[in-house]
Amino acid sequence: MQRLKIQHLIATGIYTALYFILMALCLLILRFTIPGFHNLLLPGVTALFTGLIYLILIAKVQRFGAISIMGSVIGLLFFMTGHFPLAFLPNIVAAILADFIQFKTNLPIKIRTMLSYTVFSYGLVGPLLPLWFMRQAYIDALLARGKDQKYIHFVFEHVTQQMFIVSLLAIFIGSIVGILFAFRLYQKHFATRFGQIYE
């Protein structure tokens, strides 16, 4: 198995940073356009706009491990920026699974890339899952951080079973549409530089 070299780790770090910046921009836009729903729809919207970064990372670092590192770093960034302590676990698990699909299966390149990107995108539900499945622990964590009842009500106002389904569907749709659009952008603007690997 080919191992990651220093240049691969540097490239992975660069594209992880770009991914995180795009995600932050998506959050900022959502916060001003649909406050209250912004966190719940962030994974789906992020999946819609980060497909090209994912494709370039795979093209530039054609080795198992890069996707795992990117997902793990994003998960740790969630933890470091004050999210619920277990928020990083889904990111790590989804990233490793996506890495396996991308580099350890024999599916056609476009199919496995689409599948791996969708799985990777579901890792972003990490910060959201405690809202539904660890509600009281999440509230206790907010109170420990000095948040008042008004803020807690704002956080949980739209946390319903229906919204959970919408959030999951948004990730699926966002990742599929996002990666299909990214394929076109890659072929048009980046294939000559990074290689025609998605044909």
Which pLDDT tens digits describe the chain residue by residue (199 residues)? 578 888 989 999 999 999 999 999 999 999 999 988 888 999 999 999 999 999 999 999 989 999 999 999 998 888 887 777 677 889 999 999 999 999 999 999 999 999 999 999 999 998 888 888 888 888 887 788 778 888 888 878 888 899 999 999 999 999 999 999 999 999 998 888 877 777 6
Give 126's contacts (C-beta < 8 A, 6+ positions apart): 75, 78, 83, 86, 87, 88, 89, 90, 91
**What is the per-residue pLDDT across 42-56, written as a single tens digit (0 to 9) for each?**
999 999 999 999 999
167 close to 43: Cβ distance less than 8 angstroms: yes
Residue 189 token pair: 């603007």
Condensed to tens digits (0 to 9), the pLDDT of residues 111-154 reads 999 999 999 999 999 888 888 888 888 888 778 877 888 888 88
pTM above 0.85, yes or no: yes
